[in-house]
A = this chain, B = another copy of it.
Amino acid sequence: MSEEFLKVARAAKEAAAELAPLPRSPKDAALRAVADALVARAAEIVEANALDVERAREGGTSEYMIDRLRLDEARVRAVAEAVRQVADLPDPVGEVVRGGTLPNGLELRQVRVPLGVVGIIYEGRPNVTVDAAALCLKSGNAVLLRGSSSAYSSNTALVKVMQEALAGTEVPAGAVQLVPGRSRDSVKELMRARGLVDVLIPRGGASLINSVVEESTVPVIETGVGNCHVYVDADADLDLAVEILLNAKVQRPSVCNAAETLLVHAAVADAFVPRALAALAAEGVTVHGDERIAAYGDVVPAGETDFREEYLSLDIAAAVVDSLEDAVAHIRKYGSGHTDAIVTRSVTASRRFVATVDSAAVAVNASTRFTDGGEFGFGAEIGISTQKLHARGPMGLPELTSTKWIYTGEGHLRTASGTVIARPGPRAE
């Protein structure tokens, strides 16, 4: 590992040990100091961002991507406001998750504690630099940020402002670190930093996430790939089904909780598919249909990849299935375990769908777009986990914590025949 990387990783680990036992007040004060500094030094941040934007323009980056990259003073103020909102959220650290007195009198508590050092690999949106840092600090974690190299100047400026703001607070400035360098090597270093980094959260496309999962020795939380399905059941209200389908597909097609595949029960295909095709066409959606969908109108023929793919655009794959069980089998085969919806009036159908679809979220008569930390009332979200260990679905502050068991006795000893208590004697000194 490079000296530069080891230096920031070790600094983060040291800071994490200092930050972990801090109670809420100093953490909130530090976050507010960060927010103030971002606003006060917005010009400096915007100037650094302009370098990234210029480089991106010269490199021929699309205007859509440049817009994600770009910061102006108003956007910096919005980022600072988001930090203040994180300060207002409850502190997950110290929460007693379970607790009680054991039969032998030992007092046992399971308490939330920070994870330690959280590594985050993310796309070219500089606001994530600050959002992620704020969520990690609030939950008592140090953070190692590895943003897109396209935002390196912006991220360098943002981390500098945050560190300098923290220097005047009880939170150690080293708790926020930017992984140095623009090269891919620094992603590799992050993935191999077992013992220095406690968890790695890759945010971005499927290929980044797969390579991290494949190569990382640091535990990984997979986020964000969403091949979401809308299944229109034999017993669906078809008016509702059209509305839910459209909302799930077109309200914001570029996000992970947008629908990517429509499945229609054969019993309602005649009544529903023509309506769905017309409604999708009216919204500019291209349908990639199987042969049974093609019987109802002009669609692009769908292959395996269409069902597997996350379009993130105004495209949708579509198929007719013969039963709820076939719909579930399709989702199990092709889905990414993010969010899948059923539209049905049948209690039994909804029970079966909910019980057998193996995804982070299952929606009944609702758009897939609601799978979101904000909508769930978490106040903030670091990502949406599509894995089963540790956290599944939208991840808020509690998902950035671990737990610790604490037991307190007064000389409790374990023997083959049960607990014996060695009573304390008089003061020894």
Residue ranges of A at the interface with B (Cβ–Cβ < 8 Å): 17, 20-21, 102-103, 106, 108, 110, 113, 115-116, 194, 198-199, 213-214, 217, 219-221, 236-240, 243-244, 247, 251, 268, 271, 332, 345, 350, 352, 354-356, 358-367, 369-371, 375-377, 387-390, 392-394, 402-416, 422-425, 427-429
Residue contact B240 to A358, C-beta cutoff 8 Å: no
Quote the shortest CB–CB distance from A416 to chain B (angstroms): 8
A323 to chain B, nearest CB (A): 15
Please pick, from B198, B199, B376, B428, the residue contacting A271 in the complex, using a CB distance under 8 A. B428
Q: Is the CB of A367 within 8 A of B213?
A: no
Question: What are 25 inter-chain pairs, A to B, with CB distance below 8 A?
Answer: A17-B332, A17-B358, A116-B388, A194-B213, A198-B389, A219-B219, A219-B387, A219-B388, A236-B428, A240-B411, A240-B424, A268-B429, A271-B428, A354-B406, A361-B405, A361-B407, A363-B409, A365-B408, A365-B410, A366-B412, A371-B405, A392-B402, A392-B403, A393-B404, A393-B405
Determine the distance from Cα of A407 to Cα of B359 in the docked complex, in whole angstroms: 12
Chain B residues, Cβ within 8 Å of A350: 408
A237 to B429, CA, bound (A): 9
Smallest distance from the beta carbon of A325 to chain B beta carbons, Å? 11
Chain B residue at smallest Cβ distance from A361: B405
**Cβ–Cβ < 8 Å partners of A361 in chain B:** 404-407
Known pairs A247-B413, A402-B392, A405-B376; A428 contacts B238 (CB<8 A): yes
Query: Looking at the complex, which one of B214, B236, B271, B424 makes contact with A345 (CB distance below 8 Å)?
Result: B424
| Complex contacts, A360 vs chain B, CB 8 Å | 404-405
Q: Which residue of B lies closest to A423 (CB)?
A: B240
Q: A106-B366, A350-B408, A376-B405 are in contact. List 9 more A-B contacts (CB 8 A).
A: A106-B375, A198-B389, A199-B388, A219-B219, A219-B387, A237-B427, A240-B424, A366-B413, A370-B414
Tell me which residues across on chain B come within 8 A of A332, comparing CB atoms. 17
Q: Decide if A219 touches B428 in the complex (CB within 8 Å).
A: no
| Beta-carbon nearest neighbor of A251 in chain B | B414
A402 surroundings in chain B (CB, below 8 A): 388-389, 392
Give the distance in Å from the alpha carbon of A362 to the alpha carbon of B21 in the complex: 14
Cα–Cα distance between A422 and B389 once the two chains are bound (Å): 35
- Write out the residue numbers on chain B whose beta carbons fall within 8 Å of the beta carbon of A369: 413-414
Establish whether residues B367 and A414, one from each chain, have CB atoms under 8 Å apart when the complex forms.
yes
Tell me if A362 and B404 are in contact (CB < 8 A): yes
- Nearest neighbor of A401 in chain B, beta-carbon distance: B388
Contact A407 B366 (CB under 8 A): yes
Q: Which residue of B lies closest to A362 (CB)?
A: B406
A102-B377, A251-B414, A413-B243 given as contacts; is B366 within 8 A of A408 (CB)?
A: yes
B358 near A116: Cβ-Cβ < 8 Å? yes
